[in-house]
Amino acid sequence: MTADSNASPSGPLSQLPLEHLSEALISSAHLACNVKKIRDLIGKERKIMGVVKANAYGHDAPYIAGCLEKLGVSDFGVANIDEALQLRQTKAICDNSRILAFCSPLDSHIPFYLRHNVTMTVTDFRTMHAAAAAAKAANRLLNVHVKVDTGMGRLGLPPEKAMELLSSIEENDHLQLEGVYTHFAQSTLSDDFTRRQTDCFRHLCSEFEHRFRRSVIKHAAGSGAIICQKNAHLDMVRPGIMLYGYPPDSTTTIGPELRPVMQFQAKIIFIKEVAPGTSISYNRTWIAPEKRTIATISAGYADGYHRRLSNCSSVTINGRSYPQAGTVTMDQTMVDLGNASRAAVGDTAVLFGWDGPSAADLADMAGTISYELLCAVSARVKRVFI
């Protein structure tokens, strides 16, 4: 054995390229196509806030935010201050690009909003007073957006109480009211409830702007409302799932223009022939009806391939679709190659993406939504930017 072959991880072997057992390809070209589609829907005069919360739905938030900024997006939405700090500390976007954190913060978090130029969501009088006190102590102005609860029932005051909150912020010397926003409960339905949400929000904003004789950034539309509620586009829209290539639900179609930004794939690491009656995986949920070839793929539910896809999904290998076989395990998934496949160890199996099944179709099989499948692709799956 040579010295190099027994090298430590920090030695020469660490310099060799490592072929990853599982990876998520992230396509900047597909992202650009989706941004163009959104602009076509909303017009050039409106702003886009790129929603990059939850690590950009699993796609790598710093990378996606940087790509979006190159495409003309200068507003970004995250869930909380931790996600905002990741964007600031990685220098993924310009220092003057706006980052809005949607969640109501703990009081101890507010100084970080001030220190790192993060826009805070104010949801009630308590958070307003805490924000004003922190800004006064720092002798700085804190940029805020007010969240109004028009029917989602999650965060914010109802419209009849929100005007008093807006007025109090406007009159406070330490808070700068940049925007007002709300969120739809069922944005893809043009029903009375959704129309009431829109009308109520528009009326509130109009009343505020008339009273104080200035405008604020008004935003309400996420992906569903971008497609289905044109009256709610207002000054800015907040696309999330659309950016990543999927409609908000299986009933909403927008044509072939949206392209999946992620392709989740993994290597075949083992192949064997099995006799009729052979069981595969935990609980013996799949039994070979005849002689079969079974491939083991190096991704399981710990990587983000949902256990509910057991025995009902398929993967694509060398351009051909094969059914998944047996219970999906933590680290591996088995596939029925039939009895005439040319697949080999080292070949790539596409779990979902542009060369394989759609994440939306798999989500339907698993009884969930594409958002969850994308977000579930775990950190041990290598992101490869193309």
Point out the residues that are catalytic. 53, 282
Q: Is 180 helix (H, G, I), strand (E, B) or coil?
A: strand
Task: At 232, give phi and psi (nearest 5°).
Answer: -105, 10
Residue count of the chain: 386
Place of tokens 């022939």: 273
What distance in Å separates the CA atoms of residue 167 and residue 164, rounded to the nearest whole number? 5
List phi, psi (to 5°) of 114.
-65, -45
SS3 193: helix
Burial level of 231, CB count in 10 A (0-12/13-18/19+)?
Answer: middle
CA–CA distance, 173 with 148 (Å, rounded to integer): 22
Token code pair at residue 292: 């079969």
> By the 8 A CB rule, do 206 and 213 touch?
no
